[in-house]
Structures are given as structure tokens and as C-alpha cells.
Amino acid sequence: MRRVFIMVQDVVMVLVAVALSLVLSRSNLSFEALSKEGLATWAGIVVISHLLFRYSGLYTTVWRFASTPDFFNILKSCAILTFTLYMASLLLRFYRPVAGLNERQFIVFFLVSFTIISAPRLFYRFLRDGASWGILGRKSDDTEPKRALFVGRLGEADLIIRFTRTAQPADYSIAGIMATERGAPLGTRIQGVPVVATMPRLIDVLEDYATGTKSLDLLIFGSGAEHEIEDYSELVRIARHGDINVVQFSGLSELEQHGKLVLDTVEMETILRRPAVASDIQRIGAFVSGKRVLVTGGAGSIGQTLVKRSLELGAEAVLVADNSEFGIFQLSQYVDEK
């Protein structure tokens, strides 16, 4: 029934386009619109346009997943329809002169028909996959989604933004894009999300977010980012030091149900770019147990891990040296709670 409705809608739009093209070009036909000749003309236009649209594949497209080639198909179909009707009018003039028709009306018809046939599909796509659908479908008592920053290629950014907006409930909201392509247009927007940084200033921008100038909950790397970004390890370190969770986009799942992003936690092997070496816990414990341990840079992400592990392994005391007083305070609070 949905497909039948779309078919009827299209032929009605074609007839509306005919009427609008005559009105806009200020033309009058030599026959009445509701006469036998007029009704036969409209019926012929309906049949020709319907058969042409069916042959062009307009009704085999799932418009929720429509892309540029699908709208180009509408453009091509409208152009062929305009040309067909124009040739039909030329043939008709050999048998009977028809006043009020010339190339100007057909040019206007082409532009109007493409616009009003594409508009409902484009509007449906916007409602279904745009930000408005998430806003309309979101309940007032829902919690705010986590703010995320994406680091990767612009093509992946477009895909991730689209699927984060259609997710129900919305887990993440992309606040900015850090493009890995050199020469990417800084300050431009992809689906309303700004490109906030490009190579090679990724570290500086992430530090601004991590130090609290702008709240951030999640850092999402694009697939293969560990091989494309020279400062990958440093970006991960800055994010973790700022209590920002780090994940990496690896694909999509459940495509038949609006799609779902697959985000994998960034492991130590990825940061080091080599397999992790298994630790000999018993040997390290025997070395640390009962001793006084000094950890330099102990307020950093790696330093905090060393402090916690030393205490777990039975160190008599752990002395922390770091230039961040607030970091040492946070660490002491954690130790006191334990």
C-alpha cells in the first residue's frame, strides 16, 4: 500500500507540475482543461510518467536509505519525461496545431517536476535520519547523551553522526570532529557538527577539551587511526589523563534495525602498537612486597596504575612525585577510600 501511495503521489505531482509550468510561464492552451482533448492529454501524461518512473526504478528504492544516486535517478527520470512530452507535442502539431506550448513551458515543467517529486522523499529522509527525528522521538525525562569527540576521516564522521542521532535511546552526541586528513576544511560542518581540529593540531585541541574548557565524556577514534595518526598514543594519554573514555569505531551491526555502532575499548596493545608482555605477578610481588616505592609522575594515568599496583602487591609505602598537586590529591583520595 505504501508503494501504491507513492505511485499515486508521483502522478499527481506530475499533473501539478504541468499546471504550475503553464501558470508560471503565463501560457494558455488552445483547448479546455476538462474537455475530451484535455482529459485525454492528462490521461496520456499519467500513463507515460507512471511507466517511465517504474522503468527507471523509482519504486524499488528504500527512501530511508536513499543517497545521491537515487536523487540523480529522479533528475534523470524527470528529464526523460520532459523530453518525451516535448517530442509528443511536436508530433501532435503535425496533425493539429496546439497553441500555448513552446520550449519555455517544458523547461519550467522539468524544474518544477523534479522539485515537487523530490521534496517529499527528501523531507521523509530528513525526518527519518536527521537530527529532528531524534528530537521528536526523545522523551523529556531521558538523560542527556554523552558528549563525544570523533578523531578520524570525514567520511566515517558522517556515518557515525548519522547513526548516533538515529539511535534510540541516544547514547552519544558528537560535539566535534578532529579530521585526520591534511587540508580538511577547518570550521566547516558535517550534518551540523563542526570540524574543530585538523592535522597537525589534534593534540592542542584535545588538551583544551581535556582541561575542562569544554566538557567531554568520550573520545572516538576512526577505524585504523592507530596506523594513520602519528600522535595516536599521546592523544590516548591526554584523554585518559582527563578522565575521558577512549573507544574505537570498528563497524556497524543490526543494520536492519536502524543500525548500531560497534565501539571497541582501546587496549594497551593498540596504544603500544605491539603485543603486551604478560607480567610475572609473583616475581614482581616478591620484589615490591615490604619495600618503600617511589613513583615519579605518579599523578598521570600510567603513574596512578603503578601506585595502585604497588599497594596491591604489598608495598610498605609509596611516595608519589608529580608537578600536578590536584592529580596527587585525587590519587590520595582514591587511596584513602580503598
Q: Is the pLDDT of residue 100 over 80?
A: no
The neighbour count for residue 138, using CB atoms within 10 Å, is 14
201-213 pLDDT per residue, tens: 888 888 888 876 5
Q: Is the pLDDT of residue 46 over 60?
A: yes
Angle of helix 68-95 relative to helix 103-129, nearest 10 degrees?
A: 160
State in words which class domain 142-272 has: alpha beta
Please state whether the predicted TM-score (pTM) of the whole model is above 0.95. no
Q: Is the pLDDT of residue 230 over 50?
A: yes
- Return the ∠ at Cα 292 (arms to 325 and 335), rounded to 5°: 45
β-pairing, 193-198 vs 189-190, is antiparallel
> Higher-confidence residue: 107 or 259?
107
Instruction: Phi first, then psi: give them for residue 295, nearest 5 degrees.
Output: -120, 110
- C-alpha 132/C-alpha 105 separation (Å) is 37
Which single residue is written with the C-alpha cell 510518467?
49
- CA-closest candidate to residue 83, choices 58, 40, 113, 59: 113
Query: Grid coordinates representing 253?
Result: 551491526
88-98 pLDDT per residue, tens: 887 877 776 66
Q: What is the mean pLDDT of residues 280-306?
A: 87
Q: Is the pLDDT of residue 257 over 50?
A: no
Domain boundaries, the chain: 2-129, 142-272, 281-337
pLDDT range class, residue 139, cuts 50, 70, 90: very low
- C-alpha 102/C-alpha 27 separation (Å) is 9
Which single residue is written with the C-alpha cell 566515517?
156
Looking at the structure, give the CATH architecture of the domain made up of residues 281-337: 3-Layer(aba) Sandwich (3.40)
CATH topology agreement for domains 142-272 and 281-337: yes
Query: Grid coordinates representing 296?
Result: 615519579
- H helical segments located in 167-292: 202-210, 225-228, 232-241, 268-272, 281-288
Least confident of 52-56, 115-119, 271-275: 271-275
- CA-closest candidate to residue 3, choices 60, 50, 52: 60
pLDDT at residue number 293: 92
The pLDDT mean for the chain works out to 79
63-84 pLDDT per residue, tens: 665 667 778 888 999 999 999 9
Q: Is the pLDDT of residue 133 over 80?
A: no
Checking phi first, is residue 197 left (phi over 0); if not, alpha (psi -120 to 50) or beta? beta
DSSP 166: H
Beta pairing partners, 194: 189
Share of the chain above pLDDT 90, in %: 6
